[in-house]
Structure 1
Amino acid sequence: MNHYHYIFTGNGLSALLTLFEMIQSGRFSDKKILLIDSDSKNKNDRTWCFWDTKNLFDEISAKKWQLAWFKNKDFTNQLNLNPYEYKMIRSADFYKLIFDEIAKHTNIDMFQDEVVDFSELGNHCVVKTKTKSFTCNKVFNSIYNPELVKSQKKIPLVQQHFIGWFIKSKEAVFTENCTTFMDFSVEQKGNTRFMYVLPTSSTEALLEYTLFSKDLLSKEEYEREIEDYIKKLGITEYEIVEKEQGNIPMTCFPFWKNNSKNIINIGSAGGWSKASTGYTFKNSVKKSKELVRFLKTGKDFTKFHKINKFWCYDLLLIDILYQTNQHGSAIFSSMFKTEKAPLIFKFLDEETSFWEDLKVIWMCPKGLFIKALLKRIF
């Protein structure tokens, strides 16, 4: 049975970012590392977007925007994102960057198979796939188990689910330098529903029909709404170049309580997506850096996570969206009808002071949050 210092069960975003940070640190070149996944990650299977001021992964950013539309049925606001830029990264470019780096290091192996079990046995761990078993010192698990959240009622689960079409149109209808961050002018139907548009030219864009809600839709309903939106844009002829779909868990569930001394849950399995927005890429970059710094301390993984004030803020929003999902548009509209997008981004990045927190909170419908807070307390 082959032994490794570190095994990653799953080689998605969180695993690859953590491994990349380990490589960049230069502290793990003498450690044997194994990545296991049933998927070869050799195609473009998703798109990540995030706001940034620090040239993060500029070399593989497919597009950047300095302006963004926010829309609902009552108003349209063009947001100046300065000093931030809104960036788009295509997963195929990210995978290539990381795998090219991995190929330079003989201490890192990759194995394509499905992980069926992993466990901690004293001071080492065992990882089993359909065809082989391995032992290691520590496991980074990114295999998400939704039943952990669904089997309890104390912490709710809202799902960010979407289908996106990347299209080329005959008509030049898109504003290339301005993304559509959220367009709540689509029918809400008792939910929080919006269209998300990422233009790469005047005739090309990724359009995603997105919901923050408890329940998923049929594939036909997402695609029907995209078709209707395309018609409203004045497009009469277009080609669908690619399709993508996703479902991101939005929850404050304490995944970290399932960490053990030598096994840590990362990515969606560890609650690395920002609960209140579902944004994953930048949050995972931060978490991976924290985790690699933590590894150097030699402490056990049960001591990695700490709750902060932003976890509490997120919990109140998720409570509201779970209980009264129809209020999502009003909440986000109250924030983005102002000219304070940079402050909101700073808040969502969990980098604001308490006084800055209050400025953002003051923008929101206070009755909803007071009611949610009182319900949590009592």
Structure 2
Amino acid sequence: MWQRGAVTESAPLDVDLALLGGGGAASLLLAALDRHGVHDLRIAVVDPVRRRGQDRTWAFWGHPDDDLDPLLSASWQQVEVITAARRRVLDLAPLRYAMLRSGPVYDRAAEAERRLGATRIVAPAGTVVDDGTRVVVRTGGGPTVRAGWVLDSRPRPPARPGRTTWLQHFRGWWLEADRAVFDPARAVLMDFRTPQPARGVSFGYVLPVSDRYALVEYTEFSPALLTDSGYDTALTGYRDLLGLDPAGLRVREVENGVIPMTDAPFPARPSPRVVRLGTAGGATRPSTGFTFSAMYRQADQVARALAAGRPPVPAPAYPRRHRWMDAVALRALDRGGVGGPDFFDRLFDRNPAERVLRFLDGVTTPAEEVAVMNSTRLLPMIAATAGDAADRVRYRLRPTRSAPAIPAAVVGVSPAGAAGDAVPDGAGSERGTPR
């Protein structure tokens, strides 16, 4: 099914810009194109699903923002990081932590699509052929699209396997209480009192919208997924740890998600006129799963470039040095050199909260990054750095292998700002939630 114009199914549709995928990354891009006045391009959106309603939640930190603020469900100036030993309250000023649900994002994108005069093709994108001058996209059931540029936010495996590959996977309950049990002025960013897996790290978090309504979530960073009953057991245990009486609670919604945490490469420009966005374009931070902020930056950079008549190619989502630090941190966690709760506890204990959050978003200076690295345990990180360097040499000498597919899952809320187009299109910083 496709809409707009008098093109027949057998006739190709010629456009300047084709968007493949319609999740978070594409929705933010449509809004950015409209915001920056890019109304003179022929645009097609190719996606088999029309995104509507609340199918995921993004949480992220940043300064108050005139663009996103009208869409937010809640925001907090204070958050808690909790370990077995202590409860730390962090003042995020001048930043704040914010929650954004998908419904308003999709609504804004639909309005932008209308104002841009875009053609919507409700069909899956198939083969994509780039000859360096035009890109031909064949669709399943819709017209063939010929585009000057293709922006592709569909899930894609990495170019090759990572040296370390974990998953950020989670389940969250939207809980409504009979009485006031949540503190709407403060969110729980990471609560490490949850039972820790043998290999990996787990934590809970709480994002209150009011004193009677909040998202309560259980998250793991680990190599393998849990069963459905495993997530429910863990989430029930966290609810009880918070002292919430199940008799006075109702589960209004359930959100699940899986986000890749890997040092494997995600090429952001696989061919001259194809640009990948979201997780497929490297927007997911390997060591944390944060995606949303990088995804938002990508959309804004693409729109600004098109408004100025430049190619729609955003800057790398994270500096090269950050990807190296992520690889080392992942290796240290995976090999047991550092424990997850201890790693994050030391970061927040020895740095201003604002610095840690900007570091996790990939926008700190080299001097700030030295201070952050000095917060970690030195010997395990040195060992992880040496091991990572040796593995890089081995990878250069080894024939390229195809990367395994990342498990598909319903993507929704994710801890600490992870939300983005992840697994599938859209997970997710940018997790379904916090990032």
TM-score w.r.t. the length of structure 1 is 0.92
Cross-structure match for 1:279:
290
Residues 257-300 of structure 1: CA distance to partner in whole angstroms, max 9, x if unpaired?
Answer: 65210111111111112222211111111122233345556459
Contact 2:318 2:362 in 1 (8 A): no
- d(CA) in 2 for partners of 1:125 and 1:325? 47
1:3 matches 2:14: yes
1:323 matches 2:332: no
TM-fit CA distance, 1:367: 2.0
Residues 178-198 of structure 1: CA distance to partner in whole angstroms, max 9, x if unpaired?
Answer: 100000100002221000110
Contact 1:9 1:115 in 2 (8 A): yes
Cross-structure match for 2:135:
125
TM-fit CA distance, 1:203: 2.1
Residues 173-228 of structure 1: CA distance to partner in whole angstroms, max 9, x if unpaired?
Answer: 22211100000100002221000110112222101111111111111111111112
Amino acid of the residue matched to residue 119 of structure 1?
A: V
1:161 to 150, 169, 172: 169
Cross-structure match for 2:220:
211
TM-fit CA distance, 1:306: 8.3
TM-fit CA distance, 1:171: 4.5
Amino acid of the residue matched to residue 327 of structure 2?
A: L
TM-score w.r.t. the length of structure 2 is 0.80
Cross-structure match for 2:192:
184
Cross-structure match for 2:418:
none
- d(CA) in 2 for partners of 1:231 and 1:22? 45
CA-based RMSD of the aligned residues comes to 2.3
Amino acid of the residue matched to residue 225 of structure 2?
A: L
Contact 2:168 2:260 in 1 (8 A): yes
Residues 38-90 of structure 1: CA distance to partner in whole angstroms, max 9, x if unpaired?
Answer: 12111200000111114250011110111111111121111111111100001
Q: How does 1:114-263 map to 2 (within 5 A)?
A: 114-132=124-142, 133-146=144-157, 148=158, 152-153=161-162, 155-190=163-198, 191-236=200-245, 237=247, 238-256=249-267, 259-263=270-274
SS of the aligned residue for 2:285 comes to coil
TM-fit CA distance, 1:29: 1.9
Calculate percent identity across the aligned residue pairs: 27
Contact 1:173 1:233 in 2 (8 A): no
- d(CA) in 2 for partners of 1:201 and 1:226? 20
- d(CA) in 2 for partners of 1:152 and 1:200? 40
Cross-structure match for 2:55:
45
Contact 2:135 2:149 in 1 (8 A): yes
- d(CA) in 2 for partners of 1:221 and 1:127? 41
- d(CA) in 2 for partners of 1:144 and 1:326? 31
SS of the aligned residue for 1:282 comes to helix
Contact 1:192 1:325 in 2 (8 A): no
TM-fit CA distance, 1:302: 11
Residues 224-245 of structure 1: CA distance to partner in whole angstroms, max 9, x if unpaired?
Answer: 1111222232322210011111
Identify which of structures 1 and 2 has the higher relative contact order when contacts are C-alpha pairs closer than 8 Å and 6+ apart: 2
Q: Any stretches of 5+ residues in structure 2 without a counterpart?
A: 1-11, 391-435
Cross-structure match for 1:99:
110
Q: Which moved more, 1:296-305 or 1:78-87?
A: 296-305
- d(CA) in 2 for partners of 1:241 and 1:257? 38
The structure richer in strand per residue is 1
Change (3 A) 1:152 1:230: closer
Q: Which moved more, 1:179-188 or 1:260-269?
A: 260-269
Change (3 A) 1:307 1:50: closer
Q: Which moved more, 1:288-297 or 1:96-105?
A: 288-297
Cross-structure match for 1:76:
87
Cross-structure match for 1:24:
35
Residues 18-37 of structure 1: CA distance to partner in whole angstroms, max 9, x if unpaired?
Answer: 232222222x3221101111
Amino acid of the residue matched to residue 29 of structure 2?
A: T
Residues 89-114 of structure 1: CA distance to partner in whole angstroms, max 9, x if unpaired?
Answer: 010111112212222232x1212112
- d(CA) in 2 for partners of 1:348 and 1:160? 15
TM-fit CA distance, 1:350: 2.6
Q: Any stretches of 5+ residues in structure 1 without a counterpart?
A: none
Cross-structure match for 1:311:
323
SS of the aligned residue for 1:176 comes to coil
Cross-structure match for 2:401:
none
Stretches (4+) displaced over 6 A? 302-306
Contact 1:263 1:301 in 2 (8 A): no
Contact 2:217 2:235 in 1 (8 A): yes
Contact 1:260 1:301 in 2 (8 A): no
1:113 to 98, 123, 132: 123
Contact 2:132 2:272 in 1 (8 A): no
Change (3 A) 1:305 1:341: closer
1:370 matches 2:373: no
Contact 1:173 1:234 in 2 (8 A): no
Aligned positions, number:
373
1:359 matches 2:367: no
